[in-house]
Amino acid sequence: MQEVHVGIIGLGNVGSGTLAILTENAEQIALKLGFQLRVKALCSRSIVTNKAAATNKAAATNKAAATSKAAATNQAVAALRNGSVLLTADWREVVAHPEVDIVAELVGGTSVARDIIDGAIAHKKSVVTANKELMAQCGAEIWDRAIAAGINLAMEASVAGGIPIHSVLREGISGDRVTTLYGILNGTSNYILTEIEKHGSSFDSVLQEAQRLGYAEADPSADVDGYDARSKLAILAALAFGEKITPSDIYTEGIRRILPLDFQYAHKLGHTIRLICAAHQTFSGLILSVRPALIPQSTILAGVQGAYNAVWVRGKYGEDTFYYGRGAGAAPTGVAVVSDLMRVAREIRCGSPERVSPFAHERLGEYKPIPVTLQHSAYYLRFRVVDRPGIIASLAAVLAGKQISLEAVLQLPSDNPRDLPFVITVEPTSEQSIREALAEMSAHDFLVEPPFAMPMEKSL
Ligand SMILES: NC(=O)c1ccc[n+]([C@@H]2O[C@H](COP(=O)([O-])OP(=O)(O)OC[C@H]3O[C@@H](n4cnc5c(N)ncnc54)[C@H](OP(=O)(O)O)[C@@H]3O)[C@@H](O)[C@H]2O)c1
């Protein structure tokens, strides 16, 4: 059977992992497909330098993981140089290449990547992308244009790297009606939280260590402030609920305020803390959030440690299913991209069924996103105060004024009366009431910093 040809644009983490798998595993892939999947074009702005480096053995002695990744890419690029493979710094040459059937967009971001996908669609090439940011922002519209052009689009690697969660939602459990979806979707945040939990170190010191080890970016905001997880939840919730979701529909809060002592209190309550991506269907609509939350230590999600990701889906019929794996990294994400390339190649070779966009809000949309202030939950409230009599009484009075029932007050031993921490937990109430109570409490001059609230996810 005739080969299917691939053009890869972007040879960073994901591009290099994809290229390595496509070359190292070519034989198995061909046997599985029944035809060859061949790389026909490679593009990155520095590919000319890479090409030179590939012939220069000294380049391989440079230190650090970045270099071994570059060396591996160089090796793969060098291996392909002898064949009829286009190596170019201009992505336009790849999307216009007459022999390329599928374009892999592995550049990232929302500007050039969008132009690349638009260019591929204009040239009637199918597209595989790992781009969560772009797909969360305008995936539905890109899919509509791809379908109109009669080409295929695949985006498995855009959420939770090595976990095939798109296939699960589009195929595996598509017969169910999803009611709730929980995810731990940012490996960097999960790594930081579990390190704070294990070692009692501060957020700043764990972040610095993560940056030194290459687990966190120099600018960590997308990870620790929740924006990366928000893009992923926007895509998953759109697929799971058949609703139009944009990142701005998702209440987002990062992990910067988490202290080691929050884990001590959480453990006392039989809980731990994770950055939880949550989508709940309620009678009035979908409530979507990315925020640190207390989850019971007994739940399977609490066992998700380090840079791992997990997704828990609850359906009306099939009830609970759970998916776990590496959320990022060259090889796990490369597997997702290569598997997408295989899926699309199979379709190109074996005939295409009528395509239907996975962004199905025009056909399905039942539960519109509603504000998180309508959410009902138990809450953990943590205070740091300058000690003096009557503090608990004045905070309890604020809660009572908002009809919020206090559940417990916890105070671990502390020898610093000028920065005394304690925790109040409250029975389920609305997010709106908690926000009003916190705003009122913040006026008290005994507070060292504004009170900090996290929901306690009891339904897990
Ligand atoms: N890293 C992960 O584990 C992971 C996991 C899941 C999804 N993703 C997604 O995968 C995508 C790629 O991420 P990554 O981590 O691989 O990024 P990366 O390491 O920064 O790689 C990006 C690549 O794009 C190339 N590039 C940038 N601008 C270009 C242009 N105008 N023309 C051609 N090439 C260009 C860069 O090389 P030059 O500078 O030489 O051009 C580089 O090779 C992103 O959408 C990301 O969100 C990443």
Query: 402-419 pLDDT, tens per residue?
Result: 999 999 999 999 999 999
What average pLDDT does range 369-398 have in this prediction? 97
Per-residue confidence (pLDDT) for residue 62, from 0 to 100: 35
Write b or e for each residue in 262-287: b if 16 or more Cβ atoms lie within 10 A of its Cβ, otherwise e. bbebbeebebbbbbbbbbbbeeebbb
Q: How remote is the CA of residue 11 from the centroid of ligand 1, in Å?
A: 6
For the segment 305-312, the average pLDDT, to the nearest whole number, is 96
φ/ψ region of 422 (left if φ > 0, alpha if ψ in -120 to 50, else beta) reads beta
* Confidence at residue 73, expressed as pLDDT on a 0 to 100 scale: 66
Closest protein CA for atom 25 of ligand 1: 10
337 CA distance to ligand 1 middle (Å): 13
**pLDDT reported for residue 81:** 63
Query: 120-160, pLDDT tens digit by residue?
Result: 999 999 999 999 999 999 999 999 999 999 999 999 999 99
- Between the CA of 141 and the centroid of ligand 1 the distance, in Å, is 22
- State the pLDDT at residue 459: 75
Lowest mean pLDDT: which of 78-82, 245-249, 344-348? 78-82
Pocket of ligand 1 (CB under 6 A): 9-15, 43-46, 91, 106-108, 112, 130-132, 157, 161, 328-329, 333
Residue nearest (by alpha carbon) to ligand 1 atom 41 = 45
The beta-strand segments (E) located in 282-397 are 286-296, 308-315, 319-326, 369-370, 376-385
Q: Residue 59: is its pLDDT beyond 80?
A: no
Report which protein residue has its CA nearest ligand 1's atom 42: 12
Predicted local confidence at residue 38, as pLDDT = 97
pLDDT at 26 over 90: yes
Q: Mean pLDDT over residues 40-68, rounded?
A: 59
| Ligand 1 nearest-atom number relative to CA 329 | 3
The predicted-structure confidence for 223-238, as pLDDT tens digits, reads as follows 999 999 999 999 999 9
Which ligand 1 atom minimizes the distance to the CA of 228? 47
Nearest CA to ligand 1 atom 44: 108
Single pTM value for the model: 0.92
Nearest CA to 277 out of 305, 299, 309, 306 is that of 309
Distances (CA, A) of 194 to 345, 359, 387: 40, 34, 31
The atom of ligand 1 lying closest to the CA of 108 is 45
Name beta bridge partners: 455. Answer: 379
Using the predicted structure, report yes or no on whether residue 53 has a pLDDT greater than 60.
no
Say what the pLDDT of residue 49 is: 58
Q: How many helices (H) and strands (E) does the chain have?
A: 16, 17
Nearest-atom number in ligand 1 for the CA of 107 is 24
CA 12 – ligand 1 centroid, Å: 5
Alpha carbon of 70 to ligand 1 centroid (Å)? 13
What's the CA-to-centroid distance between 91 and ligand 1, angstroms?
A: 13
> Mutate which of 8, 9, 11, 13 to test ligand 1's pocket (most atoms within 8 Å of Cβ)?
13
Ligand 1, atom 8: nearest CA belongs to which residue?
A: 130
Residue 248 CA to ligand 1 centre (angstroms): 24
Is 50 exceeded by the pLDDT of residue 174? yes
CB 315 within 8 A of CB 181: no
Point out the residues that are catalytic: 232
The residue whose C-alpha atom lies closest to atom 27 belonging to ligand 1 is 107
Residue 395 has pLDDT above 60, yes or no: yes
Statement: residue 295 has pLDDT above 60: yes
DSSP 344: H
Report the nearest-CA residue for atom 14 of ligand 1.
13
Closest C-alpha residue for ligand 1 atom 21: 12
pLDDT of residue 60: 37
- Percent with pLDDT over 90 in the chain: 85
Q: Of all atoms in ligand 1, which is nearest to the CA of residue 132? A: 47
* Mean pLDDT across the chain: 92
Distance 109 CA to ligand 1 centre (A): 8
- Which atom of ligand 1 is found nearest the CA of 11? 43
**Residue 19 pLDDT > 80, yes or no?**
yes
Which comes out higher in pLDDT, residue 73 or 85? 85
The structure tokens 């009809």 sit at 403
Please state the separation of Cα 18 from the chain's center in Å. Answer: 19
